[in-house]
């Protein structure tokens, strides 16, 4: 086994120790999604990833299409939670609930046994979260929009995402959607609905349980598109100036024509 292979095996064991990851080639793909993809499954990847660990979240399941998360899973209600409203029509499929429960039992049993075997034998792996904040729609003052906080390079998956406005905590944000990606790492999304103004200063704070440091990403308005009201005001001003110009021009023409007419007589 070469150096690169040894490192790969070591990282896999670290992942299993901290938060047992079962990334399955899932046969029970939601029926609606399967019907849409049945003719081109070879070109896309639908992943069904379940992990369990000792810290919160103790158990989590995410489903993604080409690494774009579609759903998380609420184990207390045995139902899917769509990451975006557009995914809601697919979230009602419950034909695979028993398979998910079987995955849950397997994950927790393996996590318990492997923790006993590996504890104290391998070092802890940590990633430094990277956060960025952007809007879902093009920025326009006075028009409702959504802020997205995207957090990457998460490992292990034990982070809390919170929002602040002018350094004051905001309580109306959505749940944090956590999902696994290739390379045995995790990413997270958090959403905040708001109506932008020119004085806005929002921040997204990523906190790691038991860590003294946090990752903070700020958002301030930049390059907004002109609002409809502003466009109407500018059009009104331009129209008014045009009318004034026509009146002044007509008056000047009449004024300068009078001496010419008198001289002719």
> What digits encode the pLDDT tens for the residues 69-107?
888 999 888 899 998 888 888 888 888 889 889 888 888
What predicted TM-score, i.e. pTM, was given to this entire model? 0.67
Q: What is the pLDDT of residue 156?
A: 84
Below-50 pLDDT ranges, the chain: 1-21, 23-28, 41, 261-265
CATH architecture of the domain formed by 46-118: Roll (3.10)
User: What is residue 39's predicted lDDT score, i.e. its pLDDT?
Assistant: 54
pLDDT value of residue 264: 47
Q: Answer yes or no: are the C-beta atoms of 103 and 188 closer than 8 Å.
A: no
Burial class (CB in 10 A: 0-12, 13-18, 19+), 57: middle
Domain ranges of the chain: 46-118, 130-219
Q: Is 119 helix (H, G, I), strand (E, B) or coil?
A: coil
| 130-219: CATH, from 2.60.40.10, 3.90.226.10, 3.40.50.300, 3.40.190.10 | 2.60.40.10
Which residues neighbour 88 within 8 Å (Cβ) at sequence distance 6 or greater?
82
Q: Which candidate, 25, 52, 24, places its Cα nearest to that of 114?
A: 52
Contact (CB, 8 A) for 33 and 47: no
Sign of torsion over alpha carbons 91, 95, 96, 97: positive
Q: What is the reported pLDDT for 25?
A: 40
Torsion 119-124-125-129 (CA) sign: positive
Contacts for 93 with CB less than 8 Å, ≥ 6 apart: 30, 31, 32, 80
Q: What is the pLDDT of residue 6?
A: 32
């Amino acid at each position: 086994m070469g150096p690169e292979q040894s490192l790969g095996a070591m990282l896999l064991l670290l992942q299993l120790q901290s938060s047992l990851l079962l990334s399955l080639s899932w046969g029970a793909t939601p029926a609606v999604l399967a019907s849409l993809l049945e003719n081109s499954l070879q070109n896309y990847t639908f992943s069904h990833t379940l992990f369990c660990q000792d810290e919160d979240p103790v158990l989590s399941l995410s489903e993604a299409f080409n690494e774009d998360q579609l759903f998380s899973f609420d184990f207390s209600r045995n139902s899917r939670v769509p990451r975006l409203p557009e995914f809601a029509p697919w979230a009602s499929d419950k034909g695979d609930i028993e398979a998910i429960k079987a995955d849950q039992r397997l994950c927790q049993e393996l996590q318990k046994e492997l923790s006993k075997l590996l504890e104290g034998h391998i070092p802890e792996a940590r990633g430094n979260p990277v956060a960025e904040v952007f809007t879902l729609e093009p920025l326009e003052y006075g028009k409702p929009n959504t802020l997205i906080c995207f957090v990457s390079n998460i490992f292990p998956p034990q982070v809390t995402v919170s929002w602040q406005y002018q350094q004051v905590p905001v309580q109306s944000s959505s749940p944090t959607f956590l999902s696994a990606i290739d390379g045995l790492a995790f990413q997270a999304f958090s959403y905040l609905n708001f109506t932008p103004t020119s004085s806005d200063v929002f921040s997204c704070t990523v906190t790691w349980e038991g860590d003294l440091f946090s990752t903070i990403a700020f958002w301030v308005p930049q390059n907004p598109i002109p609002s409809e009201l502003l466009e109407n005001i500018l059009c009104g001003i331009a129209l008014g100036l045009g009318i004034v110009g026509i009146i002044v021009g007509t008056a000047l023409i009449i004024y300068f024509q009078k001496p010419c007419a008198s001289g002719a007589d």
